[in-house]
């Protein structure tokens, strides 16, 4: 059976998990605990020199990068995956790929930065978060959310139109990330709230909650990180995120 190496505290892992589960794609869930540094173990290094999750292992074929894994799953199971998830239409598929290309350095980067600042800055940097640093990060999130609304979503129910696509899944997990530290990116955005509710309904609310359970309990992440035997090794790596 195909293996997926995931930690659901990670948005890209949640997108792969949600898509595979929602489409009933069979896989074995292999947990990689990022907070304890399992990605730096010899076992995981033998699997992927990149040392990041998600990782897919399908027989002898190993694939990294969430969007590449999603496209692999959609094409491998094209006979059972409805077209609206990753349309065959040239221009509709180009829209999905456009979103994939945009989100890495925008919504993903900015939402993750707010999460990391609020969750880990104090324990990693041994100081309080500078106000100007937090304000700048929050402003970047707001600008990315504006672009999501104005360019990609517009007045449509979903990013591609009337039906959900994999782009919606990739988008929603990123906006949820800082939510785990109490930052609500949906606040004051009725269009995004309505879109979120539609996406949750299409995926299944129970599945959506399952995928985000670890994130909603991430307040224990700093202590878990500090108590891990790998904290001294992880600390300088994490410090680079804040310079």
| Confidence at residue 208, expressed as pLDDT on a 0 to 100 scale | 98
Residue 240 lies in a domain: no
pLDDT mean for each 10 residues of the chain (243 residues): 98 98 98 94 95 97 98 96 97 98 97 97 96 98 98 98 98 98 97 98 98 95 88 90 88
| Confidence at residue 229, expressed as pLDDT on a 0 to 100 scale | 84
Same domain? For 190 and 94 the reply is yes
Same domain? For 15 and 123 the reply is no
Same domain? For 71 and 101 the reply is no
| Confidence at residue 136, expressed as pLDDT on a 0 to 100 scale | 98
Q: In whole angstroms, what is the distance from residue 50 CA to residue 65 CA?
A: 10
Residue 243 lies in a domain: no
Same domain? For 11 and 91 the reply is no
| Confidence at residue 125, expressed as pLDDT on a 0 to 100 scale | 96
Q: What are phi and psi of 31, to 5 degrees?
A: -80, 130
Residue 153 lies in a domain: yes
| Confidence at residue 226, expressed as pLDDT on a 0 to 100 scale | 87
Same domain? For 106 and 210 the reply is yes
Tally of domains in the chain = 2
Residue 97 CA neighbour count, 13 Å, CB half: 10
Same domain? For 209 and 113 the reply is yes
pTM over 0.85: yes
Q: In whole angstroms, what is the distance from residue 81 CA to residue 32 CA?
A: 27
Domain that holds residue 156: 87-217
Q: In whole angstroms, what is the distance from residue 96 CA to residue 75 CA?
A: 14
| Confidence at residue 97, expressed as pLDDT on a 0 to 100 scale | 97
| Confidence at residue 204, expressed as pLDDT on a 0 to 100 scale | 98
Same domain? For 97 and 176 the reply is yes
| Confidence at residue 233, expressed as pLDDT on a 0 to 100 scale | 86
Q: In whole angstroms, what is the distance from residue 196 CA to residue 106 CA?
A: 19
| Confidence at residue 138, expressed as pLDDT on a 0 to 100 scale | 98
């Amino acid at each position: 059976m195909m293996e997926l190496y995931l930690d659901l505290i990670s948005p890209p892992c949640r997108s792969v998990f949600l898509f595979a589960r929602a489409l009933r794609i069979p896989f074995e869930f292999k947990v990689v605990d990022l907070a304890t540094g399992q990605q730096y173990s010899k076992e995981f290094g033998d699997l992927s020199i990149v040392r990041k999750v998600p990782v897919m292992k399908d027989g002898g074929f190993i694939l990294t990068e969430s969007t590449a894994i999603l496209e692999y799953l959609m094409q491998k199971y094209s006979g059972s995956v409805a077209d609206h998830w990753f349309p065959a239409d040239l221009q509709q598929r180009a829209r999905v790929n456009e979103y994939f290309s945009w989100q890495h350095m925008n919504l993903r980067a900015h939402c993750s930065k707010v999460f990391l600042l609020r969750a880990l800055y104090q324990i990693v940097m041994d100081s309080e978060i500078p106000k100007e640093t937090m304000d700048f990060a929050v402003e970047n999130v707001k600008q990315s959310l504006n672009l999501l609304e104005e360019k990609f979503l517009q007045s449509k129910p979903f990013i591609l139109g009337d039906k959900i696509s994999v782009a919606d899944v990739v988008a929603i997990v990123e906006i949820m990330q800082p939510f785990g530290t109490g930052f609500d990116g949906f606040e004051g955005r009725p269009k995004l709230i309505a879109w979120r509710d539609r996406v949750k309904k299409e995926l299944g609310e129970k599945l959506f909650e399952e995928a985000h359970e670890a994130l909603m309990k991430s307040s224990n992440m700093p202590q878990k990180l500090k108590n891990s035997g790998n904290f001294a090794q992880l600390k300088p790596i994490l410090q680079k995120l804040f310079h």
